[in-house]
């Protein structure tokens, strides 16, 4: 069964422990077999220093209904991280940033990332956004302090990957915005 907005036959590059491509398999197989693959997460920050987060569609195959980074997605077979970041911003948010997404850091593939090597990007944008209904229930702007409180008080409402990346991403987001 395909979930709305997701092609379970979409090809992903399967990678080794050093993020080198070893082959290609459909999404359903990569996830079922828990093979290493690639993804990107973008955190969109506005001039006021707020971060845009989205609530995942209830139709998602993983973590439906929880709040997640601004936009995220898998790197398709033959794609690279930077190109995927731009594509996912356009697909999920209808966003074409003035500046290219800024790569912040890379996480190793592990259980908490769903065996994804994961690049996290910072993006400057103001919105409004056109949210992709198949992927996103809704979205909103939050201050870093509000996200900190959310993480401490109601972590079950947040995607596991967002909880993993937030502590590392937070300093990059607030220092550039000039607010704490």
Cα dihedral 67, 68, 71, 75 in deg (nearest 10)? -130
Residues 6-25 have a mean pLDDT of 92
Instruction: Give me the pLDDT at residue 175, please.
Output: 58
Domains of the chain in start order, with CATH, are: 11-177 (3.90.79.10)
pLDDT for residue 176: 52
The dihedral sign for the CA sequence 50, 151, 6, 11: positive
Q: How confident is the model at residue 6 (pLDDT cuts 50, 70, 90)?
A: low
Mean pLDDT taken over the chain: 91
- pTM, to two decimals: 0.90
């Amino acid at each position: 069964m395909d979930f709305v907005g997701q092609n379970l036959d979409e090809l992903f590059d399967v990678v080794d422990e050093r993020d080198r491509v070893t082959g290609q398999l459909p999404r359903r197989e990569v996830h079922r077999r828990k093979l290493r693959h690639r993804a990107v997460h973008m955190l969109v920050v506005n001039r006021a220093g707020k971060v845009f987060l989205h609530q995942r569609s209830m139709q998602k195959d993983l973590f439906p209904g929880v709040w997640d980074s601004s936009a995220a997605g898998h790197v398709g077979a033959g794609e690279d991280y930077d190109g995927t970041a731009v594509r996912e911003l356009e697909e999920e948010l209808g966003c074409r940033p003035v500046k290219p997404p800024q790569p912040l850091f890379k996480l190793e593939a592990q259980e908490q990332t769903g065996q994804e090597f994961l690049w996290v990007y910072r993006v400057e944008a103001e919105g409004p956004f056109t949210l992709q209904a198949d992927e996103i229930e809704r979205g909103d702007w939050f201050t870093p302090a509000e996200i900190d409180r959310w993480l401490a008080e109601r972590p079950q409402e947040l995607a596991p990957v967002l909880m993993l990346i937030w502590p590392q991403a937070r300093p990059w987001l607030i220092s550039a915005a000039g607010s704490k």
